[in-house]
Amino acid sequence: MNPLLRTALVACALAAIAQAQSPPLDAYQQAVAEATDLERRGNLNAVIEKLTPWVAQFPRRAEGRHRLGIAFYQQQNHPAAIEHLAAALKLEAEDSPAWRQTVEHLGLAYYFSHRTSDASPLLEKTLQWKTGDTYLRYALAMCHVYSHEPEQARRVFAELYGIPAESTQAALLASHFMNRENFSSEAETLVRQAPEVDPSLPDLHYRLGVIALTNGDHTEAAERFREELKRNPLHPMAWHYLGEAYAQSGELEDAIAALERAIWLNLRNVPSYLLIAGVYNRRNQYALAENALQQALSLDPQNYEARFLLARIYQKTNRPDLAKQEMARATQLRKANP
């Protein structure tokens, strides 16, 4: 075949292919524009319905992947959001507005899916341009907590609360969050560094007491709370947890004395009322237990524990109708909040 004729035929074939592909691509771009408008109006179901077939047809086009991923994220469908945003991240121009939005939402989708090692680097990147976003910084700090990275958690929490990263306060702060998530070993490692810096620091012994209580060492916990209260007798939670340490050790009279002080310092602390009611119940002081539970319910009428324990008190004091009524309320609360 004549080379010129062959070249002309190839050119015609390529033009025909391009012409055949152009209308679908144009329709795809129109669908993305329409989906963007639908998202702006909050119609996320319509966004997903419109874009899903187009993304299947054009899986390597960033715009559709991005819009679909954002829609799934806003619906809290994090696995689907991750699928599309992870694909978009590979296709978008780095540092473009779309890329930045993808980095942020993909990082948060990983965070909410408990994939903290995947979330951390993306959240770190996002904070480079969203330096004042406190929630993103908190999410990054918690990623380090869940990944058992206490020093990194300490650094980010320090940034979040505006204190020096190497300070004793930063160690105490990070240990609080790690202990809250039941990572008491890492929390103890952090907080035990503090006495080497400033043994008189407020809350130091309180934090050590909370860790000891979490670990079931009631004797050390009580010692730590007493030490804290020597420095700050106006610390209601130190009194509360001292009462809990005593209660768990069977020292009920001391528990009541500590919990009374906790309540007098903070009349709205429901857990202290519940704890002292439990101690009164163990001592067969039912009238005092009932009064404490009524106080708790005046502050939190939907408290399951208070309703359940009050039903038990009514049963023990031969008031079966009231017991049945309270137990029904407790059961209803438990079903509503399993």
Do 59 and 124 fall into the same domain? yes
* Predicted TM-score of the model (pTM): 0.73
240 and 158 inside one domain: no
pLDDT reported for residue 20: 45
CATH of the domain at 317: 1.25.40.10
Q: What is the pLDDT of residue 185?
A: 84
**Listed residue (66, 149, 52, 169) closest to 109, CA to CA:** 66
Structural domain boundaries enclosing 257: 218-266
Return the pLDDT at 169.
84
pLDDT of residue 16: 47
DSSP letter for each residue of 230-289: HH-TT-HHHHHHHHHHHHHTT-HHHHHHHHHHHHHH-TT-HHHHHHHHHHHHHTT-HHHH
8 Å CB contact between 109 and 85? yes
Q: What are phi and psi of 200, to 5 degrees?
A: -95, 10
C-alpha angle with apex 106: 101 to 107, nearest 5 degrees?
100
Residue 6: what pLDDT? 55
Which of 176, 201, 226 is where one domain is finished?
Answer: 201
81: Cα separation from own chain's centroid: 19
User: What is the number of domains present in the chain?
Assistant: 4
pLDDT at 158: 94
Are 127 and 186 part of one and the same domain?
no
Joined together, the tokens standing for residue 2 give 């004549």
148: tokens are 């058992």
Would you say residue 323 lies in a domain? yes
Burial of 23 (0-12, 13-18, 19+ CB in 10 A): exposed
Stretches in the chain below the pLDDT threshold 50:
4-5, 8-10, 14-22
- Rounded to whole angstroms, what are the CA distances from 9 to 6, 18, 20, 200, 260? 5, 14, 16, 88, 95
Q: What is the pLDDT of residue 18?
A: 46
49 with 108, same domain? yes
Q: What is the pLDDT of residues 87-129, one digit of tens each?
A: 999 999 999 999 999 999 999 999 999 999 999 999 999 999 9
Which of 107, 131, 155 is where one domain is finished?
131
- Same structural domain for residues 71 and 150? no
Q: Give the pLDDT of residue 2.
A: 54
Find the angle CA(276)-CA(278)-CA(283) to the nearest 5 degrees. Answer: 95
Q: What is the pLDDT of residue 193?
A: 72
Domain assignment present for residue 64? The answer is yes
Same domain, 338 and 302: yes
Whether 307 is in a domain gets the answer: yes
